[in-house]
Structure 1
């Protein structure tokens, strides 16, 4: 695994968690909505007998477990990434990595925070990637 791939894992995991939360909110809306009864005669032998909201609640509980696991993984990964970044000697390089991979700031936001132009931020970032030493047992998500 390359350094940039390792550091970028937290961002991807955070986006997956956000997507799961949005899906869960949608399921909650479905579970609390009332559907109108159907007056048509239906003859199906394989129909699920559970109400629709029950299936939504089961899916919500599954998603909550998944989200909790993902959050635990994200916390552990970010802690490991912080330790790796703190080993970079140059302060500017360390701050670029921290803002980019821990706080998920854009290049423009990082430049604003460090009072540097985009080219300087890119230069610090590229130099920092060369100074990062991956842990012996990197967390892989």
Structure 2
């Protein structure tokens, strides 16, 4: 795994959580949606409760998955930050924190640091090399 892939793991989990939250919102809408159908056709004597049960089960399962993902995200972000803090260059460290912990765009990082996006990319490249060395050192220690 490259340094960039390692650092990007948190963003991937965060996106997965957001996708699952959107899915839960859809399920919740389905569960609470009440619509009347006007028709001359005879109705079933009992409503289809299995559909509602299925939606509720999916909601509970998705919520459990989200909670597990959040636990993993918190642990991973701490691990990533501990790695980032080992980078000696303070500017490089700031760029890595903003990009891989706060999930900021290159433009936002450049504005935060009052520098050009090109400069941010240059320092980021050097910072990734430093992280690569840190990761290799950590692998050797374990």
Place the TM-score, normalised by the shorter chain, in its bin.
0.7 to 0.9
Give the C-alpha shift of residue 52 in structure 1: 1.9
| 1:52-101 CA-partner distances (Å, limit 9, x unpaired) | 22211110000000000000000000000000000000000000000000
Alignment partner, residue 45 of structure 1 = none
Q: How many Å separate the matches in 2 of 1:109 and 1:34?
A: 43
| 1:109-132 CA-partner distances (Å, limit 9, x unpaired) | 000011110111011100100111
Q: How many Å separate the matches in 2 of 1:3 and 1:22?
A: 30
Alignment partner, residue 130 of structure 1 = 129
Q: Give TM-score, length-normalised by structure 2.
A: 0.85
Give the C-alpha shift of residue 50 in structure 1: 3.8
Q: Give TM-score, length-normalised by structure 1.
A: 0.86
Please give the residue correspondences for 1:53-64 in structure 2 after superposition, counting only pairs within 5 Å.
53-64=52-63
Give the C-alpha shift of residue 35 in structure 1: 4.3
Give the C-alpha shift of residue 36 in structure 1: 4.1
Q: Does 1:77 align with 2:76?
A: yes
Alignment partner, residue 16 of structure 1 = 16
Q: How many Å separate the matches in 2 of 1:28 and 1:52?
A: 13
Q: How many Å separate the matches in 2 of 1:36 and 1:113?
A: 53
Give the C-alpha shift of residue 31 in structure 1: 0.5
Instruction: List alignment gaps of at least 5 residues for structure 2.
Output: none
Q: Does 1:6 align with 2:6?
A: yes
Q: How many Å separate the matches in 2 of 1:119 and 1:33?
A: 50
Please give the residue correspondences for 1:1-141 in structure 2 after superposition, counting only pairs within 5 Å.
1-36=1-36, 39=41, 50-132=49-131, 133-134=134-135, 135-136=138-139
Instruction: List alignment gaps of at least 5 residues for structure 1.
Output: 43-48
More helix, by proportion: 2
Q: Tell me if structure 2 keeps the 8 A contact 1:107–1:121.
A: yes
